[in-house]
Amino acid sequence: MMIITLTTDLGTKDTTAAMLGGMLKRWVPDSNVVSLSHHVLQHGWREAAHIWASSAHAFPAGTVHISTVAPFPISMSNSLPGERRKQTTISLPALPIIVATAYGQYFIAHDNGLLPAALGEEMADTARLLHSFTEVYSLQGWIEKIAKLIRQIPAFFSEQTEAYRPLLLPLPAPQITPIGLVCHIRCIDRYHNIVINLSRQDFDLLIGSRPFSIRTFKGYSITTISTHYSDVPIGTPLCRFTTAGYLELAVNHGDATSYWGIDPDDKSSHEYHTIRISVLS
């Protein structure tokens, strides 16, 4: 049985996300449709990329991952720091649909920067053009088109179809300062743990074995990397690396966002909120 995953920004308040799953099941009867998340930040291709990077290892070869996030080019409105920023679509038709392969699995998304962000630039070099939109865009029509093409996807790679160069959009990287690093939020999970854009590889390169300190909004400092949440007492902040290899700030049986003064419901502010790591000589 083919496994198909769905990642969307549609939410679950209405039936749209469930309807898409039903349509996939109808067009691919021998499939098992799994919802990774329907609560991605609206147009949040970076968050969708993080979800794929964090979860793909759990699925078997042959799995098909589908994202409906950010179908159109997105423009961020100019606003002052601290102000709620709005995203607006700026052109039609929908962006081309592309597919890439990694881990023996297939990843389908609009050409909006998601694939390189999720799979890495080298893996995204496997991208192939699946469909270009010229007709009027509709979400249902998009899913129907993908469902009809799913069986053909392996041929895109076995027949050496011409490679497609996906859009590469800049991802915030940790900024090096005279006293340490300034990092940005990749995502905040349902437990209000904060994942930042510092990978284990970059941590080893930029910090290594030197002592460090991550200050919280409440004055507590984190100075060690934990393996498990239970490595620290209940209610105590900690940091650990996720399965995707990024540093996560958490509180054992607590709420990390309150420790760092972040409103978990104001997702538009997450893109400019920073976490500072002091490196001690």
pTM score, two decimals? 0.77
| pLDDT confidence bin for 84, thresholds 50/70/90 | very low
Is residue 163 assigned to a domain? no
What CA–CA distance (Å, rounded) separates 255 from 250? 7
State which residues form the domain around 231.
175-279
182 and 119 in one domain? no
H or E, element range at 148: helix 139-149
pLDDT, residue 108, reads: 94
Average pLDDT of the residues in 144-150 = 85
What values do phi and psi take at 123, rounded to 5?
Answer: -65, -35
| 3 state DSSP class of 233 | coil
CATH number, domain with residue 210: 2.40.30.90
148 and 19 in one domain? yes
Burial class (CB in 10 A: 0-12, 13-18, 19+), 53: buried
Is residue 166 assigned to a domain? no
CATH number, domain with residue 46: 3.40.50.10790
Question: Per the structure, how many domains does the chain have?
Answer: 2
pLDDT, residue 96, reads: 87
pLDDT, residue 105, reads: 94
pLDDT, residue 165, reads: 87
What CA–CA distance (Å, rounded) separates 23 from 232? 46
pLDDT in tens, 169-202: 777 789 999 999 999 998 888 899 999 999 999 9
24 and 142 in one domain? yes
143 and 15 in one domain? yes
Is residue 167 assigned to a domain? no
pLDDT, residue 203, reads: 95
Residue at which a domain ends, from 158, 193, 218: 158
224 and 148 in one domain? no
35 and 142 in one domain? yes
pLDDT, residue 210, reads: 94
Determine the residue type at 135: E
Is residue 169 assigned to a domain? no
Q: Which of 65, 13, 8 is nearest to 38 (CA)?
A: 8
186 and 144 in one domain? no
CA distances from 157 to 27, 127, 225, 229, 241 (A): 22, 9, 41, 42, 33
Is residue 128 assigned to a domain? yes
Q: Which of 24, 17, 22, 23 is nearest to 2 (CA)?
A: 24
| pLDDT confidence bin for 248, thresholds 50/70/90 | very high
